[in-house]
């Protein structure tokens, strides 16, 4: 049934009761416990943020003060994580922030949120795949296997200039990154049990490697590398406090894994209890590890030398411990692969939810009759993610991920405030602690409000940097961002607006979009 495009139609909302009914009609297997969700979160959080982006953030923006950047980004994510925990316990359904905003702010905001989550999750996989490629090529080199540069570098490359980073087109295609994405996609198609088993193994592996790096590396720290701790501002976002906040926007995405926990709601055994544990538990563990590893990394290597795809490998080379270098590289490869696996999983579940609601084509919600996975949607997403990994450099990818993450997080914080005012009667197994205040009769809780403020702090330096680059003639980041927004608008107005099942009054809510076609 084709719907009429009316202004009020854009803000059509799902009822809480409808969302809860959909949660009980999901075709997935409920096999994940609290420990599995914590491991899923850690598996997604600890990856490119520590293995790759810490070096770039220190070298280009913050220097040793990248530790402060981690703290700022961590606080922003902790505030938002509490909001996610409340919504996840109240609305335990797949789709995460997309579903929350559909219930609170309406369909057009839900679409925007879902499209932003492609930046947050899908592009994040591409970014991690680039880091995976860097460590894999380095490890192969140690065994005398040389990968041709054109198969391990992106088509678009970032170049350091006196005016900052610039982007130029080259002739490469990162085939190693592409292969990593395809392997992760195949594992997810096989089934969630296999994916969880692999995730458990690689998560434990990378935690052990990172702790070993922190302990062993602490013996090689040179205090001179921390002096000055906050390098003098050199203009723009190069060092000083502007650089610290710009670095925070770069590594902000490193905490995105806790949201993947929310996308697993349909496969959690006891989502009201286990989702908050998974979110808060994974955030605490990862923040402690991040701070320890970043301190050692910048203490062992002068920060200006860390702007590479494999900064931890550089640090181990400085230690002159070849055997440990192999261990670190293997741990990094395992860690980055686990992030690709967990984050691709999250993206497929968001697209499943959007397709189930009619905002994306039905192929994304087709579930394999035996394996109970959205197999076709996973394959299509895998191809798109792989192309981005092969064509774009890590610097552009990280900015796009941060933008999508921060804006999506802000919408989640707003959703908590809205739902508390409109439905104060709802049972909330987990509730964000702290008080609040009132503005014109609207109750505003302190923590969601602070979460919105910190998300703005993450986005502002990034957007200013993109605008500055465009004004200097380096328009590639702005063109990519503008093109992405335009594509999202075209898909919604051309497909989603006409096929929304919520707007189709003749479709029963309990059967909407629960397609279970087999191969």
Exposed, middle or buried, 273 (CB in 10 Å: 0-12/13-18/19+)? middle
Q: Which of 218-227, 276-285, 375-384 has the highest mean pLDDT?
A: 218-227
Q: What is the pLDDT of residues 302-322, one digit of tens each?
A: 988 887 767 888 888 888 888
Residue 231 pLDDT greater than 50, yes or no: yes
Percent of the chain with pLDDT over 90: 3
Question: What tokens were used for 206?
Answer: 């990378």
More reliable by pLDDT, 170 or 261: 261
Which of 18-32, 210-224, 300-314, 398-412 is the most confident on average? 210-224
Give residue 263's pLDDT band: very low, low, confident or very high (50, 70, 90).
low
From 501, 485, 491, select the one nearest 353 (Cα to Cα).
501
Count of Cβ atoms closer than 10 Å to residue 39 Cβ: 27
Q: Which residue is it, tokens 């590479």?
A: 308
Counting every residue written for the chain, the total comes to 519
Q: Which of 88-92, 121-125, 127-131, 510-514 is the least confident region? A: 510-514
Say whether 442 sits in a helix, a strand or coil: strand
Place of tokens 């040179």: 222
pLDDT of residue 168: 58
Where residue 92 falls among pLDDT bands split at 50, 70, 90?
low
**Two tokens, residue 78:** 């902790």
Q: Which helix (H) or strand (E) holds 263?
A: helix 257-263
Which pLDDT belongs to residue 511? Answer: 39
pLDDT greater than 80 at residue 453: yes
Task: State mean pLDDT over 424-443.
Answer: 82
pLDDT at 93 over 70: no
- Token reading at 84: 């996610």
Cα–chain center distance at 426? 29
Q: Is the pLDDT of residue 438 over 80?
A: yes
Q: Is the pLDDT of residue 466 over 60?
A: yes
Closest C-alpha among 227, 290, 289, 224 to residue 65 = 227
pLDDT given for residue 327 in this prediction: 86
> Percentage of the chain surpassing pLDDT 70?
80
Task: Report whether pLDDT(293) > 70.
Answer: yes
Looking at residue 215, the DSSP 8-state letter turns out to be H
Q: Which tokens go with 395?
A: 């610097």
Whether the per-residue pLDDT at 477 is higher than 80: the answer is no
The CA distance from 128 to 347, in Å, is 14
pLDDT at 314: 84
Q: Find out whether 476 and 167 touch, Cβ atoms under 8 Å.
A: yes
- 427 by Cβ neighbours in 10 Å (0-12 / 13-18 / 19+) ranks as exposed
Q: Are 85 and 432 in contact (CB under 8 A)?
A: yes
Report how far residue 385's alpha carbon sits from residue 389's, in angstroms, rounded to the nearest whole number: 6
pLDDT of res. 185 = 81
Distance, CA of 170 to CA of 173 (rounded, Å): 9
DSSP 322-346: HHHHHHHHHHHHHHHHHHHHHHHHH
**What pLDDT does residue 338 have?**
75
Which pLDDT band holds residue 2 (cuts at 50, 70, 90)? very low
How many Å apart are CA 94 and CA 345, to the nearest integer? 11
pLDDT higher than 60, residue 516: no
The SS3 of residue 366 is coil
Mutual orientation of helices 311-319 and 271-300 as an angle, nearest 10°? 50
236 class by beta-carbon count within 10 Å (0-12 exposed, 13-18 middle, 19+ buried) = middle
The whole-angstrom separation of Cα 222 and Cα 210 is: 19
The per-residue pLDDT for range 119-153, each reduced to its tens digit, is 767 777 777 788 788 888 888 888 888 888 777 77
Q: Report CA torsion sign: 384, 84, 57, 49.
A: negative
Burial class (CB within 10 angstroms; exposed 0-12, middle 13-18, buried 19+) of 20: middle
- The pLDDT of residue 517: 34
Asked if 330 contacts 139 with a C-beta cutoff of 8 angstroms, the reply is yes
Q: What local confidence, expressed as pLDDT, does residue 124 receive?
A: 73
pLDDT of residue 272: 67
CA distances from 75 to 172, 182, 284, 454, 467 (A): 38, 34, 11, 8, 27
Q: Distance between CA atoms of 231 and 66, rounded to whole angstroms?
A: 11
Of the listed ranges 269-273, 344-348, 475-479, the one predicted with least confidence: 269-273
- Confidence (pLDDT) at 449: 92
CA–CA distances in Å: residue 110 to residues 218, 326, 404, 490: 46, 45, 13, 15
What is the arithmetic mean of pLDDT over 33-56? 76
Across the chain, mean pLDDT equals 77
What was the pLDDT predicted at 512?
A: 38
Q: What is the pLDDT of residue 137?
A: 86
Helix 97-104 with 322-356: angle, nearest 10 deg:
30
pLDDT at 410: 86
Supply the DSSP string of 100-116, one letter for each residue.
HHHHHT-HHHHHHHHHH
pLDDT digits (tens, 9 = 90+) for 174-225: 888 888 888 888 877 776 555 566 666 777 787 888 888 889 988 899 889 9
Residue 10: Cβ-neighbour burial (10 angstroms; 0-12, 13-18, 19+): middle
The CA distance from 388 to 123, in Å, is 7
Residue 368, classed as helix, strand or coil, is: coil
The one-character DSSP state at 96 is T
Residue 157's DSSP bridge partners are: 168
Give the mean model confidence (pLDDT) for residues 455-467.
81
| pLDDT for 58 beyond 80 | yes
Residue 5 scores a pLDDT above 50: no
Distance between CA 325 and CA 219 in Å, rounded? 15
Rounded CA separation 69/247 (Å): 6
């Amino acid at each position: 049934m084709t719907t009429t495009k009316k202004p009020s139609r854009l803000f059509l909302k799902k009822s809480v009761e409808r969302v809860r009914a959909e949660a009980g009609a999901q075709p997935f297997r409920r096999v994940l416990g609290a420990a599995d969700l914590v491991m899923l979160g850690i598996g997604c959080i600890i990856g490119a943020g520590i293995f790759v982006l810490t070096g770039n953030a220190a070298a280009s923006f913050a220097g040793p003060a990248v530790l402060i950047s981690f703290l700022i980004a961590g606080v922003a994510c902790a505030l938002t994580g509490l909001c996610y925990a409340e919504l996840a316990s109240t609305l335990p359904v797949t789709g995460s922030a997309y579903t929350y905003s559909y219930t609170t702010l309406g369909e057009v905001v839900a679409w925007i949120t879902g499209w932003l989550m492609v930046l947050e999750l899908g592009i994040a996989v591409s970014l991690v795949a680039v880091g995976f490629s860097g460590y894999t090529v380095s490890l192969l080199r140690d065994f005398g296997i040389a990968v041709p540069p054109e198969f391990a570098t992106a088509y678009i490359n970032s170049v350091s200039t006196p005016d900052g980073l610039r982007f130029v087109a080259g002739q490469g295609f990162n085939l190693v990154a592409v292969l990593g994405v395809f392997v992760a996609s195949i594992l997810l198609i096989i089934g969630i049990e296999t994916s969880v088993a692999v995730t458990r193994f690689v998560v434990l592996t990378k935690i052990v490697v990172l702790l070993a790096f922190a302990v062993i590396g602490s013996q090689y720290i040179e205090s001179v590398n921390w002096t000055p701790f906050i390098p003098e501002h050199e203009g723009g976002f190069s060092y000083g406090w502007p650089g610290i906040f710009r670095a925070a926007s770069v590594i902000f995405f490193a905490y995105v894994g806790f949201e993947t926990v929310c996308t697993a709601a349909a496969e959690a055994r006891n989502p009201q209890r286990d989702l908050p544990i998974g979110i808060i538990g994974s955030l605490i563990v990862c923040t402690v590890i991040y701070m320890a590893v970043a301190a050692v990394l910048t203490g062992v290597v002068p920060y200006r030398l860390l702007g590479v795809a494999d900064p931890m490998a550089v640090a181990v080379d400085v230690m002159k411990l070849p055997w440990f270098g192999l261990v670190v590289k293997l741990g990094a490869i395992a860690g980055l692969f686990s992030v690709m696996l967990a984050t691709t999983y999250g993206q497929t579940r968001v697209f499943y939810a959007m397709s189930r609601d009619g905002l994306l084509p039905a192929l994304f919600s087709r579930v394999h009759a035996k394996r109970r996975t959205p197999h076709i949607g996973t394959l299509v997403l895998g191809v798109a993610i792989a192309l981005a990994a092969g064509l774009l450099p890590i610097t552009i990818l990280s900015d796009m991920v941060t933008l999508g993450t921060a804006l999506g997080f802000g919408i989640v914080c707003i959703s908590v405030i809205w739902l508390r005012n409109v439905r104060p009667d709802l049972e909330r197994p987990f509730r964000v602690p702290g008080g609040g205040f009132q503005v014109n009769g609207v109750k505003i809780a302190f923590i969601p409000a602070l979460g919105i403020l910190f998300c703005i702090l993450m986005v502002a330096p990034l957007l200013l940097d993109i605008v500055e680059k465009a004004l200097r003639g380096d328009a590639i980041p702005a063109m990519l961002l503008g093109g992405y927004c335009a594509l999202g608008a075209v898909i919604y107005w051309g497909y989603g607006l006409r096929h929304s099942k919520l707007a189709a009054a003749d479709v029963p809510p309990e059967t909407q979009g629960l397609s279970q076609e087999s191969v």
